[in-house]
């Protein structure tokens, strides 16, 4: 939303104008929306938000691709190379290595969906078989994601070359048509509203299930009453859910406002969660279910895959931490650089 304000400012005053926009207010609004949505008890109540978020993701990705193609077709030739940014010209050798590691974290985050896989599967009907539906859905989802991200990466690099911004739309790789960029940024905002809930709901439910199992006789933890909401019908309201989820949203929003380093945090979260949740546990569960013999070809290659992804996660985490340390040098609290 801050990028929309800046986009309109650039349109009115020129691309070289000093167009600063505070994001603190926008983050507070975002937190308020999340506090309300977080009171939805589970994924069953979020199906519509998930669909909206997916449509928004498709929309802003398509806008970015279209603008990249238009820039390439316009005859503007950006400086590109097979190995990316040139050492000694665009970046130092050390910066090149750290940025490569950080990019691994960003890619890993794009595929870290396993923590919501079971919760999504629980929302499916029993017929046809849930595992068969999820296998097909995962294949389609991963294939579509890979296609769009590869196109964004390849065409985006062709359009901007070694000076490509971290985010094409909010980073002002494009300035015109400003209204289309504004539409793309609105789609990003709506998508992130839905994405926050999709990733947080498993955390909410895990903590709540643990607390109720730990203190089964607590009236505060188990109390729930139905409240009639205009236009929405009956809504289950829990005091524990209200307090715990609101606290969680406030704390995460406060951290985001104090440390507004989007790409570095994205890479770090992706690096930390990718190997254990997306690789190690699924591989181990598969081998246990299939009763894979130790040191058989399948066992060997599964472990090679797991170890390779562990190395990628460690390198990505190191790159993201280095990026955060670098950002902190010129850091001002509550200010997006």
Q: What is the DSSP string of 223-285?
A: --EEEEETTTEEEEE-HHHHHHHHHHHHHHHHHHHHS--HHHHHHHHHHHHIIIIIIIHHHHH
Backbone angles phi, psi at 328, to 5 degrees: -70, -20
Backbone angles phi, psi at 260, to 5 degrees: -85, 60
Decide: 209 and 216 in contact? Cβ < 8 Å.
no
Beta pairing, strands 233-237 & 225-229: antiparallel
Between 279 and 18, residue with greater pLDDT: 279
Angle 146-120-298 (CA atoms, 0-180°, nearest 5)? Answer: 60
Torsion from C-alpha of 158, 160, 161, 166, nearest 10 degrees = -110
Task: Give pLDDT, residue 172.
Answer: 63
C-alpha distances out from residue 319 to 260, 295, 327, Å: 17, 33, 12
Kindly tell me if the per-residue pLDDT of 120 is higher than 80: no
Distance CA 309, CA 287 (A): 17
3-class DSSP assignment, residue 216: coil
Helix ranges, the chain (H): 2-13, 24-37, 47-73, 93-110, 117-121, 130-160, 178-214, 219-222, 239-258, 262-273, 281-290, 297-329
Task: Give pLDDT, residue 302.
Answer: 93
From 107, 167, 121, select the one nearest 313 (Cα to Cα): 107
3-class DSSP assignment, residue 292: coil
Averaged pLDDT score across all residues of the chain? 83
Between 84 and 69, residue with greater pLDDT: 69
* Confidence bin at 321 (pLDDT 50/70/90): confident
* Confidence bin at 95 (pLDDT 50/70/90): confident
Share of the chain above pLDDT 70, in %: 94
Kindly tell me if the per-residue pLDDT of 336 is higher than 70: no
From 279, 270, 264, select the one nearest 310 (Cα to Cα): 279
Could you tell me how many residues make up the chain?
Answer: 337
Decide: 258 and 327 in contact? Cβ < 8 Å.
no
* Residues paired with 228 in a beta bridge: 234
* Residues paired with 230 in a beta bridge: none
Task: Give pLDDT, residue 335.
Answer: 62
Instruction: Write out pLDDT tens, residues 255-297.
Output: 888 877 777 777 787 778 888 888 898 899 889 988 999 889 9
pTM (predicted TM-score): 0.77
Task: Give pLDDT, residue 173.
Answer: 67
Task: Give pLDDT, residue 171.
Answer: 67
From 178, 194, 193, 192, select the one nearest 5 (Cα to Cα): 178
Sign of CA dihedral 326, 93, 104, 78: positive
């Amino acid at each position: 939303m801050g990028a929309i304000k800046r986009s309109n400012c650039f349109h009115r005053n020129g691309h070289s104008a000093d167009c600063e926009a505070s994001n603190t207010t926008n983050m507070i609004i975002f937190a308020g929306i999340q506090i309300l949505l977080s009171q939805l008890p589970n994924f069953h109540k979020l199906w519509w938000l998930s669909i909206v978020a997916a449509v928004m993701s498709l929309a802003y990705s398509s806008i970015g691709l279209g603008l990249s193609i238009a820039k390439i077709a316009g005859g503007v030739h950006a400086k590109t190379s097979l190995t990316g940014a040139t050492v000694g010209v665009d970046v130092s050798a050390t910066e090149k290595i750290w940025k490569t590691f950080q990019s691994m974290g960003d890619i890993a985050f794009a595929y870290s969906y396993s923590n919501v896989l079971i919760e999504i599967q629980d929302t499916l009907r029993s017929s046809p078989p849930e595992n068969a539906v999820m296998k097909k859905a995962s294949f389609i989802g991963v294939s579509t994601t890979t296609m769009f991200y590869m196109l964004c990466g390849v065409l985006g690099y062709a359009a901007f070359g070694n000076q490509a911004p971290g985010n094409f739309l909010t980073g002002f790789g494009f300035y015109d048509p400003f209204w289309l960029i504004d539409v793309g940024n609105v789609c990003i905002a709506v998508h992130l509203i839905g994405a926050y809930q999709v990733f947080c709901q498993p955390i909410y439910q895990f903590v709540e299930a643990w607390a109720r199992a730990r203190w089964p006789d607590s009236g505060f933890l188990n109390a729930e009453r139905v409240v009639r909401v205009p236009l929405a019908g009956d809504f289950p309201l829990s005091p524990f859910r209200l307090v715990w989820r609101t606290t969680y949203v406030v704390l995460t929003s406060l951290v985001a406002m104090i440390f507004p380093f989007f790409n570095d945090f994205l890479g770090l979260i992706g690096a930390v969660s990718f190997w254990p949740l997306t690789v190690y546990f699924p591989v181990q569960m598969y081998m246990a279910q299939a009763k894979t013999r130790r040191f058989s070809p399948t066992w060997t290659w599964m472990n090679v895959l797991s170890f390779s992804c562990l190395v990628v996660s460690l390198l990505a985490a190191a790159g993201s931490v280095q990026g955060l340390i670098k950002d902190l040098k010129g850091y001002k609290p509550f200010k997006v650089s």
